[in-house]
Structure 1
Amino acid sequence: MTFAEEAGRLAGMAGAVLGWPPDRFWRATPAELHGLVAALTGAGRGGSDPLPRATLARLREMFPDG
């Protein structure tokens, strides 16, 4: 993907998800954009693997949904 394509994708995401107008997107630093994307996607938390089935079953028993 080219820089222009990636920038357009990120600008669209910032507008749709964050409500940012284009000028806010273009004033943002790369670090700000990275932090927002990481927060929205859960990237960098280190716990992105799914729960083991046994853990999920135990949680369902402890907290039934009615």
Structure 2
Amino acid sequence: MSRLNEYVDNHEHLDTINTILKHYGVSAEFVAHTLCESFGEDKELPKEFIEDLKQFNASL
């Protein structure tokens, strides 16, 4: 999880998108699940990215 925390700490725009998602009542669980489903079959994305998404989703 430390790699994920590092990613979050280094991105300015996450607060903005988080505000929009909260405004519309979209949960982190929904976003993580949707990303895992959408990106899970993409062969061009790094495997670490998919693993991190799955780990984050499992932690919720």
TM-score, with structure 2 as normaliser: 0.32
> Which protein, 1 or 2, shows the higher relative CO under an 8 Å CA cutoff with sep ≥ 6?
2
